[in-house]
């Protein structure tokens, strides 16, 4: 497969263009492959978690950042994946891998159901509906027998840290690769961006906006479903207040926004920063609830001061080799 | 041969009719001008034809087929392209990418879409700005981009909504030439414009809207001498100028 | 029969309070195109403030309603410039920026309340608590009834304000067409600040009543955010008279599901209704949406 370097890019500054080169992407994930060899178990755990959040934030970014429709209940898909994998493994005895895949499909299917009536509309209806959906699922999981109600579900224990690290790496890598290929390199991505920038105009040039938005939403729900499944197997015990808690969505939003929405690397950067900051805060204050205030304040500040996120700030400041060379050429004229 | 036909279209907003029993026919290959005072329903008519609004009653026929209530993307696929009165570019994309989104409709690969888009940019003389961010181009270029993007879907009917408003006389002249060069027997054009010189030098026929209804339709010369038209529109307009 | 009567009355009474929450929320959208995600958190903060005042001074919470109204108006007035900044300037999607910003606000409020008051559930007792009123063939808890009366009063005052006063007319004009209004000399930004603080005041005040009817805890806002949203889904965004009908319908629905199906299923029922409404009539049942 060949890539045109000047093809469909969503970020236009040279910094990002360099980063989005598939070679670098590959190199990056390859180096992550070797990481566990050098890390203590604690740090492997942290790295796994960072990867998990990087995948989740990027998934949110597909609908929230690239398409411009805010899903305030995205954590629900994570929970659906966790419960689906759990139920399939515990009650039906399915193997983990198949359960995982099925979890992704189920999440995507639920996204279709939620998206169909709400994505025909503009504006806030979608945000409202997804949020209500998240609230609903938490309640449903508490009521149902099959989910174990408020007590939750115990999965077969599998204590193998590197396994979870690698599978998380694989899935998150797949998330980024898929999004890179579909959103930064294919017409699908152009169309999403056109919808975000001017929905009416997009429709006027033949973009079936409703169908494209629904597809994007399904895509953005698929990966959290899988990641939720992995998480369930990893932590072995799930209940409504763990995998369906409201702040999972909050974290996805803050990571994507802090890093920079609508960019490939923004959510990754956001996930790393937020996770590390959170760890430090835990060390300092212990596990309180004050972190919520900080998340909220971070979201507000990003909107007020750096709407393009950290990536946007970096773009403004980092040395841009290509542009510098261009400038030089102009001046020197050889 | 009749390409587009509207039958008794009605559209009201909050009880006020913006389009009131409007019937219009457009022959294939012609350039039809539509004039009318501000708020007379010209843009609303375009929005009804392209499916952005659904009419309260009445029909839109395209190639004799009833397309009333079709969603805009289907209308685009059937071959109607339009520009927006207020340019509506995809701001965070380049000029070329803007046009590519519309050439996707027929191009099978990215490469073909890009080639077609480049060709169209050449046509509207925007090729030099192809890789610029839309945010950084001038109003005139944005208006050209509107046109280019509409052409990208390879329409057989092109609806132009005040593509020359706000341009300098020289730019207007260039635009008239450009539109004239687009006209072929396969491309029918409807032009909405306030600048009378443009209408007079481009159009084969001219329709006048007032309060959402058609008050006159004829060859341009006869229309501008119609007393009713002068009363409703031109008189006021000319007086305002002087 | 008695149960049915009781259920209907209960539903209507709750509906009266939902009107108050929904009306400000809807107006906020209508005038400023701001969807305030923190609406439930205003309710929650109002409830806590009522609780604090009662705990400190020991008077009946109803005494404090005007004070709470003023305090929340002030808070709204202080916060509005930030919201204004979030939705204006060079940001290309104001509705989304406003949503995210108020989403952030709601997390701050929730986290703050959790950090200060923890997970303990608080309640406000008033002289009406435990009393009841004879009404037709059944009795009604006095507190609920006063909540309903409060809701109706606020709504009536609000409607008079909106339709009969100068400020109200300016607000409605701004809601209909911001650009034209600003051409006619309306300071859209100040109107926005005014509406937002009015909304914060009303919603905070309703929190006191909600807090004395139900229990107070940091996560209670979620329910009222949901209800406010469902109200506008039913009524269409930014259409005030629709809010009244929608709120009463939701109150009834909630009470019927609570009695005949089970309290745990109310959210599910509300969601299914909303889903159906969006599926059938995208612009809300009353077809006056955006
Ligand atoms: N989306 C809308 N909502 C409410 N009213 C509208 C809408 N679009 C148009 N109108 C009203 O319909 C009438 C016709 O407007 P329209 O934009 O079609 O006029 P126009 O002939 O294009 O005017 P102009 O020459 O100023 O472009 C106006 O009174 C306008 O206010
Ligand atoms: Mg117009």
pLDDT band at A3 (very low <50, low <70, confident <90, very high): very low
- The whole-number pLDDT of residue B51 equals 92
**Domain annotation covers residue A34:** no
| Mean pLDDT in residue range B153-161 | 94
Residue identifier of the C-alpha nearest atom 18 of ligand 1: B41
- The whole-number pLDDT of residue A331 equals 52
DSSP string for A170-233: HHHHHHHHHHIIIIISSHHHHHHHHHHH-HHHHHHTT--HHHHHHHHHHHHHHHHHHHHHHHHH
- Tens digit of pLDDT for each residue in C53-93? 888 888 888 888 899 999 999 999 999 999 988 887 666 67
| Mean pLDDT in residue range A188-211 | 93
Say which residues have a Cβ less than 8 Å from residue A75's Cβ, sequence separation at least 6. A134, A224, A244, A245, A246, A247, A248, A249, A250, A252
| Mean pLDDT in residue range A257-284 | 89
Q: Do the Cβ atoms of C224 and C38 come closer than 8 Å?
A: no
The pTM for the full model equals: 0.88
Closest CA to A85 of A215, A234, A219, A218: A234
Sign of the C-alpha dihedral computed for residues A62, A65, A69 and A70 taken in this order: positive
- The whole-number pLDDT of residue B241 equals 45
Q: Tell me whether C65 touches chain A (CB under 8 Å).
A: no
Closest CA to A275 of A57, A38, A109: A57
Say which residues have a Cβ less than 8 Å from residue C199's Cβ, sequence separation at least 6. C24, C25, C27, C28, C36, C76
pLDDT band at B84 (very low <50, low <70, confident <90, very high): very high
Which positions in chain A touch C79 (Cβ < 8 Å)?
none
- Tens digit of pLDDT for each residue in B14-51? 778 899 999 999 999 999 999 988 889 999 999 999 99
Residue identifier of the C-alpha nearest atom 30 of ligand 1: B39
Number of independent structural domains in chain A: 1
Q: Note which residues in 184-213 of chain A have CB less than 8 A from chain B.
A: 186-187, 190-191, 193-194, 196-198, 200-210
**Rg (chain C; Cα; Å):** 19
What domain range includes position A157? 40-331
Cα dist from C141 to A306, C88, C224, whole Å: 51, 47, 21
- The whole-number pLDDT of residue A328 equals 57
The rounded distance, in Å, linking the Cα atoms of A34 and C248 is 61
Check whether C234 has a pLDDT greater than 70: yes
Structure tokens belonging to residue B98: 């803007």
- The whole-number pLDDT of residue A108 equals 97
Buried b (16+ CB within 10 A) or exposed e, B113-132: bbebbbebbebbebeebbee
Closest CA to C188 of C69, C87, C289: C87
**Domain annotation covers residue A24:** no
Check whether C289 has a pLDDT greater than 60: no
- Tens digit of pLDDT for each residue in A139-168? 889 888 888 888 888 888 888 888 999 999
- The whole-number pLDDT of residue A62 equals 96
Q: What is residue A2's three-state secondary structure?
A: coil
Task: Work out the mean pLDDT of chain A and round it to a whole number.
Answer: 85
Residue of A60, A69, A70 to mutate, interface with C, max C Cβ within 10 Å: A70
**Domain annotation covers residue A304:** yes
Which positions in chain C touch A72 (Cβ < 8 Å)?
37, 99, 103
**Domain annotation covers residue A26:** no
Please report, for chain C, the start and end positions of each structural domain, with discontinuous segments joined by +: 2-220
Name subunits touching A (3+ CB pairs < 8 A): B, C
Q: Which parts of chain C fold into alpha helices (H)?
A: 2-32, 39-57, 65-87, 94-117, 142-164, 166-176, 178-183, 188-213, 221-235, 240-260, 266-280
- The whole-number pLDDT of residue C197 equals 92
State the complex-level ipTM: 0.89
| Mean pLDDT in residue range A158-187 | 90
- Tens digit of pLDDT for each residue in A218-267? 999 999 999 999 999 999 999 998 999 888 998 999 999 999 988 888 99
Q: Among A9-18, A74-83, A95-104, C87-96, which stretch is predicted with the lowest mean pLDDT?
A: A9-18
The rounded distance, in Å, linking the Cα atoms of C98 and B114 is 36
A124 or A136, which is more confident: A136
C159 or C1, which is more confident: C159
The rounded distance, in Å, linking the Cα atoms of A309 and A321 is 22
Cα dist from C158 to C195, C198, C227, whole Å: 12, 10, 20
Q: How many residues would you count in chain C? A: 290
Does the structural domain B2-79+155-241 have CATH classification 3.40.50.300?
yes
Check whether A319 has a pLDDT greater than 60: no
The rounded distance, in Å, linking the Cα atoms of C53 and A262 is 46
pLDDT band at A316 (very low <50, low <70, confident <90, very high): low
The rounded distance, in Å, linking the Cα atoms of C76 and C193 is 8
**In degrees to the nearest 10, what's the CA dihedral of C68, C70, C73, C75?**
-70
| Mean pLDDT in residue range A40-54 | 92
- The whole-number pLDDT of residue A111 equals 96
- The whole-number pLDDT of residue A321 equals 56
- The whole-number pLDDT of residue A126 equals 87
Closest CA to B214 of B47, B36, B52: B36
DSSP string for A37-58: GG--HHHHHHHHHHHHHHHHHH
Closest-CA residue of chain C to A64: C96
Q: Do the Cβ atoms of C166 and C35 come closer than 8 Å?
A: no
Q: Do the Cβ atoms of C239 and C26 come closer than 8 Å?
A: yes
Task: Work out the mean pLDDT of chain C and round it to a whole number.
Answer: 84
β-strands B188-192, B16-27 pairing = unpaired
Check whether A49 has a pLDDT greater than 90: yes
Tokens 């004009």: give the residue: C173
- The whole-number pLDDT of residue A176 equals 92
């Amino acid at each position: 497969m060949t890539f045109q370097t000047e093809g469909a890019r969503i970020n236009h500054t040279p910094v990002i263009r360099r980063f989005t080169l598939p070679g670098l992407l590959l190199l990056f994930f390859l180096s992550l492959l070797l990481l566990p060899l050098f890390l203590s178990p604690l740090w492997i755990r942290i790295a796994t978690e960072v990867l998990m959040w990087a995948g989740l934030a990027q998934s949110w970014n597909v609908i929230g950042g690239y398409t411009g429709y805010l899903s305030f209940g995205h954590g629900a898909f994570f929970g659906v994946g966790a419960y689906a994998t759990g139920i399939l493994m515990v009650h039906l005895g399915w193997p983990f891998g198949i359960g995982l895949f099925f979890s992704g499909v189920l999440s995507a299917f639920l996204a279709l159901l939620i998206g169909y009536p709400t994505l025909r509309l503009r504006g806030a209806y979608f945000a409202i509906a997804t949020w209500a959906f998240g609230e609903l699922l938490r309640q449903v999981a508490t009521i149902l027998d099959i989910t174990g109600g408020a007590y939750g579900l115990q999965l077969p224990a599998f204590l193998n840290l590197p396994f979870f690290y690698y599978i998380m790496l694989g899935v998150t890598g797949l998330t980024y690769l898929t999004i890179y290929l579909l959103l930064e390199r294919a017409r699908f991505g152009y169309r999403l961006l056109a919808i975000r920038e001017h929905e009416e105009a997009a429709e006027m040039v033949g973009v079936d906006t409703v169908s494209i938005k629904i597809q994007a939403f399904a895509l953005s729900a698929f990966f959290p479903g899988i990641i939720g499944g992995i998480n369930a197997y990893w932590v072995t015990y799930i209940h409504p207040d763990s995998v369906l808690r409201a702040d999972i969505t909050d974290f996805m939003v803050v990571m994507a926004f802090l890093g920079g929405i609508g960019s490939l690397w923004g959510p990754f950067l956001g996930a790393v920063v937020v996770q590390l900051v959170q760890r430090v805060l835990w060390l300092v204050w212990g596990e309180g609830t004050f972190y919520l205030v900080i998340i909220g304040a971070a979201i507000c500040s990003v909107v007020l001061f750096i709407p393009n996120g950290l990536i946007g700030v970096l773009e403004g400041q980092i040395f841009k080799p290509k542009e510098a060379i261009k400038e030089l050429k102009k001046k020197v004229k050889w | 041969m009749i390409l587009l036909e509207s039958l008794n279209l009605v559209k009201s907003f909050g009880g006020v009719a913006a389009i009131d029993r409007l019937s219009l026919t457009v022959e294939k290959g012609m350039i039809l001008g539509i004039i009318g005072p501000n708020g007379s329903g010209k843009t609303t008519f375009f929005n009804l034809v392209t499916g952005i609004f659904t009419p309260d009653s009445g029909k839109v026929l395209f190639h004799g087929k009833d397309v009333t209530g079709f969603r805009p993307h289907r209308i685009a696929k059937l071959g109607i392209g339009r520009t927006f009165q207020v340019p509506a570019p995809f701001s965070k994309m380049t000029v070329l990418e803007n046009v590519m989104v519309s050439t996707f409709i027929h191009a099978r690969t990215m490469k073909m879409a890009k080639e077609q888009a480049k060709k169209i940019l050449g046509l509207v003389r925007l090729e030099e700005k192809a890789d610029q961010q839309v945010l950084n181009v001038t109003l005139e270029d944005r208006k050209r981009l509107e046109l280019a993007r509409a052409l990208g879907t390879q329409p057989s009917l092109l609806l132009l909504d005040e593509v020359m408003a706000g341009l300098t006389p020289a730019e207007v002249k260039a635009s008239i030439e450009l539109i004239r060069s687009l006209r072929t027997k396969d491309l029918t054009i409807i032009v909405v414009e306030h600048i009378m010189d443009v209408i007079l030098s481009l159009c084969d026929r001219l329709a006048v809207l007032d309060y959402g209804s058609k008050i006159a339709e004829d060859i341009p010369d006869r229309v501008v001498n119609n007393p009713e038209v002068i009363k409703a529109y031109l008189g006021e307009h000319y007086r305002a100028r002087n | 029969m008695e149960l049915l009567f009781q259920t209907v009355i209960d539903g209507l009474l709750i509906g009266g309070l939902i009107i108050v929450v929904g009306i400000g929320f809807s107006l906020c959208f209508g005038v400023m195109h701001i969807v305030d995600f923190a609406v439930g958190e205003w309710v929650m903060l109002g409830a806590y403030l009522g609780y604090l005042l009662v705990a400190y001074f020991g008077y009946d919470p109803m005494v404090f309603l005007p004070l709470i109204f003023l305090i929340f108006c002030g808070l709204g007035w202080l916060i509005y410039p930030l919201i204004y900044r979030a939705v204006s300037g060079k940001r290309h999607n104001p509705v989304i920026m406003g949503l995210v910003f108020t989403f952030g606000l709601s997390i701050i409020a929730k986290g703050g309340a959790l950090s200060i008051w923890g997970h303990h559930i608080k309640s406000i007792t008033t002289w009406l608590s435990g009393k009841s009123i004879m009404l037709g063939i059944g009795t009604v808890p006095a507190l609920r009834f006063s909540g309903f009366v409060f809701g109706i009063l606020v709504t009536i005052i609000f409607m008079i304000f909106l339709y009969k006063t100068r400020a109200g007319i300016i607000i409605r004009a701004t809601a209909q067409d911001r650009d034209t209004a600003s051409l006619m000399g309306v300071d859209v930004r100040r109107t926005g600040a005014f509406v937002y603080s009015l909304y914060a005041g009303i919603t905070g005040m309703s929190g006191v009543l909600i807090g004395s009817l139900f229990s107070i805890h940091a996560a209670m806002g979620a329910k009222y955010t949901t209800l406010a949203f469902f109200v506008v889904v039913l009524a269409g965004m930014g259409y005030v008279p629709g809010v009244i009908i929608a709120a009463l319908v939701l109150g009834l629905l909630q009470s019927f599901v609570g009695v005949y199906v089970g309290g745990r299923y109310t959210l599910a029922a509300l969601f299914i209704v909303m889903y159906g409404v969006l599926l059938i009539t995208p612009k809300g049942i009353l077809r006056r949406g955006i």
